[in-house]
Amino acid sequence: FCVGTSYILAVKVSYIVAVIMVDYKVQGSFAILEVNNPPVNALSHAVRSGLNDGIEKASRDRNVKAVIVCGKGATFPAGADIREFSKPKKEPWLPEIGHKMEKCEKPVIAAIHGTCLGGGLEIALFCHYRIALKTARVGFPEVQLGLLPGAAGTQRLPRVAGLQVAMDMISSGRHVLATEAKKYGIIDELCLKAVKASVDFPYEKGLEMETEFFKQLLGSGQSKAQQYAFFAERTIARWEMPNGNYRTAVAKPVKSTAVIGAGTMGSGIVVCLLSAGIPVYLMEQNEKFLNNGLKMIKSIMEGSVKLGKVSPEVGRKAATLLKPTMNYNDLKDVDLIPVLVKTCRGFLANRMHGPFGTEGTFLVEEGALPSQVDRVMEDFGLPIGPFKVRDLSGVDIAYKIKQEVAKLLGIKTTLQTRFMNGERYCALNDRLFHLGRLGRKTGKGYYKYEKAGGKIATEDSDVTDIIEKHCKELGIQRRQISSQEIVERMMYSCINEGFKILEDGIAVRPEDIDVCYLYGFSFPRYLGGPMFYANQIGLQRVYERICYYHENFPYSPHWVPSRLLRKLAAKSVPMNEWMAYATGSKL
Ligand code: 3H9
């Protein structure tokens, strides 16, 4: 440090240190190659170099009769270093090291504990023997990152465990729900081709094909999005508040929780808490609502047990953990934890999702049909379209929210209302409400259902008639609406709101928003989340389209372009630097 009279100048000194990430030691006649790259011993370049040098050294050493490969600390290597995927590739490659291990004339043994995943399992499969602690877990989670095993896993696992087991492990990642895995169409197909090559071709040819498929996937937007989602989930846990942060805070045990409102959403949340074995108070304003909620919870729990989503034991215990109440006093000691956000109307998720729902209704008013909007958004990757969601949550909920807003503004709406407080208003939902089409609960809403409370949605020509009548009465000329327009208006309107949320400091990172969407709205993981999706498209393009829609729909304030987005788009700021431009942002 150089200390002057009025300033302190800090001089940064850098040391070049050779990082040793594989400890090589000889014990008796064993050479031990211990990977030491905490926390998960990922197979970074330094680790690969260490393993490569280690196996060469052990092969040469006359005193060594056998080689053990293991991991220090919590685990055997849990896979390739995902952070290196976006950097230029550096030799030695994993298969090259694996082949050296396989060709080693001394027995090479993988001693496995913790989580032996991805590249870690591939290394183990190259070894002549594998021994493991009973508690160890193995797997190929690459599919969750939009990849397939790329270091001979697709060739060696079928040879060791058989085609059926290999297909199951590689295509599901074992942690992925079947429904989600099915959506990974391209990956399933490439997995399939790679694993099939292990039967159809000699090992070398199969390996060549695997490498080619791995490269294709690594370069795909889908894989980048899934890698982003992996790190985003971990990033959001690193929260900072003026009076503490994730390092200093000590997690309190969750002994009791409360859910206020026993409607569809409240009951669903109760089921999640009960399934996790957490006691929960269910609060309602009257006995009728409370009993309806209890009935719904019982039926969902029974269904979950039948489907094997929760064990019968958890199902039985759930009844003892649920405490119905109509008294707020009962809730005074409950613990509350879901995502750190500043408060605003709609908080993060509902505020951002508001324009999404509104645009859906406007699109229908202009010419689309609810089933068309749903189909396009399901093709985009959402598990369920917005109008099916509205039928699920209740047409009356959307209606009552609008009525509350109107009341606050001192306005009375009619079926002819087209503007409220200077903003575009669509009374289509109100029409359905007045016709008693409240959604699934009444057996009809934007769709018709097999019965009241039914789940099978079918298109209803009555709905088309209602929409057409609405447009005729208001003199609206309906037009053809393209799929592109549907996706852009639904997604870009909420992305624009997302940037406003960042600018206002309601969330402090785009990752917070994306993880909310991945978990809260089952946003497709292979798109990363709406903010990552916007980044992939390019902020300039997104900004231009938002400006275009703002020009065309000046009475919808959600199209007023976000200032933050404008700045970021103008300077092509990379995603990891966005928050430096969000001047208003502080929790
Ligand atoms: C692969 O292997 C491809 C090959 O087939 C072919 C290659 C040619 N890389 O989750 P945690 C970080 S693909 C880099 O909180 P846990 C993570 O970000 C790979 N970093 O711990 C976090 O950092 P931070 C296949 C990684 O105990 C810290 O480690 N393998 C990696 O709850 C702790 O993580 C996988 O996909 C990685 N591979 O769970 C396994 N893994 O503290 C992915 C973790 O800065 N990993 N980090 O936030 C996991 O599933 C879990 O981390 C694991 C531990 C179960 C291992």
Averaged pLDDT, 156-160: 88
Query: Nearest C-alpha to atom 24 of ligand 1 is from which residue?
Result: 234
Query: Nearest C-alpha to atom 55 of ligand 1 is from which residue?
Result: 115
Catalytic residue (choose from 34, 91, 102, 122): 122
pLDDT, tens digit (0-9, with 9 covering 90-100), for 472-501: 999 999 999 999 999 999 999 999 999 999
Expressed in angstroms and rounded, the spacing between residue 80 Cα and the centre of ligand 1 is 8
- Rounded to whole angstroms, the Cα distance separating 307 from 51 reads 45
Q: What is the structure's pLDDT at 237?
A: 85
Query: Nearest C-alpha to atom 4 of ligand 1 is from which residue?
Result: 119
579 C-beta neighbours (distance < 10 Å), count: 17
DSSP string over 114-140: SEEETHHHHHHHHSSEEEE-TT-EEE-
What's the pTM? 0.80
Q: What is the structure's pLDDT at 187?
A: 47
- Rounded to whole angstroms, the Cα distance separating 532 from 285 reads 41
Indicate if ligand 1 lies below 6 Å from the C-beta of 255. no
Averaged pLDDT, 552-580: 96
Contacts of 168 (CB under 8 A, 6+ apart): 174
**ipTM of this model?**
0.98
Indicate if ligand 1 lies below 6 Å from the C-beta of 89. no
Q: What is the structure's pLDDT at 17?
A: 45
- Rounded to whole angstroms, the Cα distance separating 195 from 148 reads 10
pLDDT, tens digit (0-9, with 9 covering 90-100), for 79-118: 999 999 989 989 999 999 999 999 999 999 999 898 899 9
Indicate if ligand 1 lies below 6 Å from the C-beta of 145. yes
Cβ proximity of 427 and 415 under 8 Å: yes
Q: How confident is the model at residue 344 (pLDDT cuts 50, 70, 90)?
A: low
- Asked if residue 253 has pLDDT above 90, the reply is no
Half-sphere exposure of 211 (CA within 13 A, CB side): 10
Site to substitute for ligand 1 among 21, 35, 37, 40, most atoms within 8 A of C-beta: 40
DSSP string over 355-389: HHHHHHHHHHHHT--HHHHHHHHHHHT-SS-HHHH
According to DSSP, the β-strands at 280-283 and 322-325 are parallel
Cβ proximity of 97 and 52 under 8 Å: yes
Cβ proximity of 147 and 117 under 8 Å: no
* Atom of ligand 1 lying closest to residue 79 CA: 2
- Asked if residue 412 has pLDDT above 60, the reply is yes
Take residue 240 and report the two structure tokens written for it. 């900072």
Q: How confident is the model at residue 75 (pLDDT cuts 50, 70, 90)?
A: very high
Indicate if ligand 1 lies below 6 Å from the C-beta of 94. yes
pLDDT, tens digit (0-9, with 9 covering 90-100), for 168-211: 888 888 643 333 434 444 445 668 788 888 888 899 999 999 99
Expressed in angstroms and rounded, the spacing between residue 120 Cα and the centre of ligand 1 is 11
Averaged pLDDT, 212-217: 90
Contacts of 541 (CB under 8 A, 6+ apart): none
The verdict on whether 122 is a catalytic residue reads yes
Indicate if ligand 1 lies below 6 Å from the C-beta of 117. yes
pLDDT, tens digit (0-9, with 9 covering 90-100), for 22-70: 999 999 999 999 999 999 999 999 999 999 999 999 999 999 999 999 9
Phi/psi for 258 (5° steps) reads -140, 145
- Rounded to whole angstroms, the Cα distance separating 558 from 499 reads 11
Query: Nearest C-alpha to atom 41 of ligand 1 is from which residue?
Result: 40
The verdict on whether 473 is a catalytic residue reads no
* Atom of ligand 1 lying closest to residue 80 CA: 2
Long-range own/partner contacts, residues 367-370 (CB < 8 A, 24 or more apart): 367/478, 367/479, 367/480, 367/481, 368/481, 368/486, 369/459, 369/463, 369/464, 369/467, 370/446, 370/447, 370/463
Take residue 42 and report the two structure tokens written for it. 């990922």
Choose between 149 and 305: higher pLDDT: 149
